[in-house]
């Protein structure tokens, strides 16, 4: 299991469009992927679940990846979040 703390830098937060892109990328990995924010953990492969977190600019999230492709997944998804 790998974990990485990431700060949301997008001026509009993790709204529908960037969240949908993230989910699309997350679904390419076999590993279980979750996002934790403010004590709530959700499946990172579910757009609806991610939207329930209300991720705004400056919010800290914990990305957790567990599985056979976890190293590639956490590196790729971290880059995706930082670009959004």
Exposure b/e, 26-61, CB count within 10 A at least 16 = b: beebebebbbbbeeeebebbeeebbbebebeeebeb
The question of whether 76 is a catalytic residue gets the answer no
Q: Of residues 9, 12, 15, 76, which has the active-site annotation?
A: 15
Active site residues: 15
């Amino acid at each position: 299991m790998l974990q990485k703390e990431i700060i949301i830098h997008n001026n509009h937060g993790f709204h529908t469009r960037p969240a949908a892109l993230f989910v699309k990328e997350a679904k390419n990995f076999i590993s279980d992927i979750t996002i934790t924010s403010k004590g709530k953990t959700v499946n990172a492969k579910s757009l609806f679940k991610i939207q329930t977190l209300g991720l705004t600019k400056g919010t800290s999230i914990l990305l957790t990846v567990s599985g056979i492709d976890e190293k590639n997944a956490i590196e790729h998804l971290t880059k995706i979040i930082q670009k959004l």
